[in-house]
Chain A
Amino acid sequence: MGDVDRRSELATTGGRDVDRRSELATTEGRKVVTPSQTVGPFLSLGLPWEDGPVADPDGVRISGRVFDGAGEPIGDAIVETWHHDPPAFARCPTDDEGRWHVVVPYAPYVAVHVLARGLLRHLTTRIYLDAEADDPVLASVAAERRETLLAERTEDGYRFDIRIQGERETVFFDV
């Protein structure tokens, strides 16, 4: 009898837990935001798209590599780019040498997310194709670090390496 009572009590508590979770709220009454977690080493099971890197076949090619703090390439990262005008989103996982590329419509800059194993939150940066862009964000970056946001013109488009840590560390933004 006692056992039965306790069991029904447990079931009730379980029900309350479910309710509490959907109602999780901040002290301001807004919903608690779902936190970020790493993409882990197996992101290629879920994120790559066959046409992911090519937002516009007639666009400009931007390619580069992603490096860690020891200067080693990161082979389990994914780079995503976005610009609103014209709207174009591209994503490309890195290969074992940390290489990625996208083909996107020309814009003075594109916004970038970098996701990888070992990154508990993604990193946000920008790639400036136009180094002379009169742009408040570029201007807000300390002059000595600004060049980490500038793409280099190459024969087939632009090159942009992402250094997550260490020498010539890429500028990342707090958004």
Chain B
Amino acid sequence: MREPALDYPAYKSTALRHPKQPLVYLPDQVTEMTGPQLGQLRPGTIENDLTTEGPVGERITVSGRLLDVDGRPIRDSLIEIWQANAAGRYRHRWGDWPAPLDPNFGGGGRTVTDADGRYEFVTIKPGPYPWGNHPNAWRPAHIHFSLLGRSFEQRLVTQMYFPGDPLFAFDPIFNSVRDPKARERMISSFSMDRSQENWALAYEFDIVLGGRDGTPIEEAH
């Protein structure tokens, strides 16, 4: 059984948005086992610092490595993030609960992994927010991450959470992943070592992409 399940009743929006027919097995095919290389993408601005306008909030860095299941780095790969502001409000016309927008915070960022698969963002810690899924439902604070990986099959969009969030127990999106080890993989770790004195606290978040990956083993160097 693949996780998370597409039909997950505790998350109400899945009700009309999951296929009822079984998925059809797709054998290995070159189209899906390949994927766009960085030069074939047109993302526009690459900006990994979301704080250049001086937003309100707790300044943090979020850094880590993009890896495959064997621990090999995935280099030159686009990472995109988006998030709420420190008050838990998204800069979006549908985000309309009574928390303030921050004129100095957009909430989107992009970067590219280096030769070791490493990336870093500078941002502010997003706030939790209510979302109406069930009475008094609040999302744990999170940052959305989008990864393209090496192949179309490795595509992943996930959410990064913060350690020790008291809302974990109540959140059906987080808990749609039933395997505790896999859930733990979505939680960043606090890093005093990476914090910068008088400037920013730091969280680390390694991302591991599964999927079939048709690229040849990289040469040792």
Contacts and interface: CB of A to CB of B under 8 A. Distances in A.
Given A36-B158, A46-B80, A175-B32, A118 B208 contact: no
B208 to A, nearest CB: 5
Nearest to B152: A82
Interface majority SS (helix, strand, loop, mixed), chain A: loop
B210 interface: yes
Contacts of B107: 45-46
Contacts of A157: none
A12 interface: no
Given A120-B6, A137-B26, A82 B176 contact: no
Contacts of B221: none
Interface in A11-52: 14, 17-18, 21-22, 24, 26, 30-47, 49-52
Interface residues of B, number: 86
Nearest to A148: B21
B80 A68 contact: no
A165 B36 contact: no
Interface stretch (B52-60, B111-119, B181-189): B181-189
A74 to B, nearest CB: 7
B212 to A, nearest CB: 7
A37 B13 contact: no
Nearest to B163: A17
Contacts of A140: 24-25, 27
B94 interface: yes
Interface of A: 14, 17-18, 21-22, 24, 26, 30-47, 49-52, 55, 68-70, 72, 74, 76, 80, 82-84, 87-89, 109, 111, 113, 115-124, 136-137, 140-141, 145, 164-166, 169-175
Given A32-B208, A35-B186, A87-B36, 7 more contacts: A21-B206, A36-B4, A39-B157, A84-B30, A118-B11, A122-B155, A172-B23
14 contacts: A14-B190, A18-B191, A32-B181, A33-B69, A37-B177, A42-B95, A45-B82, A45-B83, A68-B16, A69-B16, A118-B15, A122-B157, A145-B21, A170-B19
